[in-house]
Amino acid sequence: MSGVLLADRYISPMTEGDLDEVAAIEKLAYEFPWSRGNFGDSLRNGYFGICLRHVTGTLIGYCVLMPVVDEMHLLNLCVTPAAQGAGAGLALLREAVRMTHAEKLDGLLLEVRPSNHRAIRLYERFGFTSIGRRKNYYPARHRSREDAIVMRLSFAKEGADGAA
């Protein structure tokens, strides 16, 4: 087992070997899932993939982060439906923030469907604020597209004297 141990779960970097499991959870959780190829392309392009596993090795969730200029962009965060509501999303967010700090970036940006109330509550509880909307961002079943709420978690900048 590699990675950071969290009680009965651990965090590890996503690798090519994880992609079949990741894609299977993605299909369970989303009506419009990323493909296995989307995840593979992300890893090959140098994005950060994070896996959250139970100590038994079972994949619980994952996220994909892309550093962009001075901030990190959370492209995908998913928890297997059977494990939702048990803190896995929070554990992944904490790791995303830790990595963002480690990369010395100013904040974390994400898009979320307005219809995804559970995710919005999680992000707001974590300190994310809504900064805008992207029109027609997501595919949708009963209408051609669904907007995205753009949310950001900003980190305090330190001044020259070290004060925040």
| Catalytic residue (one of 30, 111, 137, 138) | 111
Confidence of residue 164 (pLDDT cuts 50, 70, 90): very low
Domain boundaries, the chain: 4-154
Query: How far apart are alpha carbons 23 and 108 in whole angstroms?
Result: 24
Question: Tens digit of pLDDT for each residue in 52-79?
Answer: 999 999 999 999 999 999 999 999 999 9
Question: Tens digit of pLDDT for each residue in 79-92?
Answer: 999 988 889 999 99
Binding-site residue ranges: 116
Cα atoms in the 13 Å half-sphere on the side-chain side of 104: 1
Please indicate whether residue 123 is annotated as part of the active site. Answer: yes
| Catalytic residue (one of 123, 138, 146, 158) | 123
Q: Would you state the structure tokens that stand for residue 95, as one six-digit string?
A: 């790791």
Compute the residue count for the chain: 164
> Is domain 4-154 classified as CATH 3.40.630.30?
yes
Binding-site residue ranges for acetyl-CoA: 116
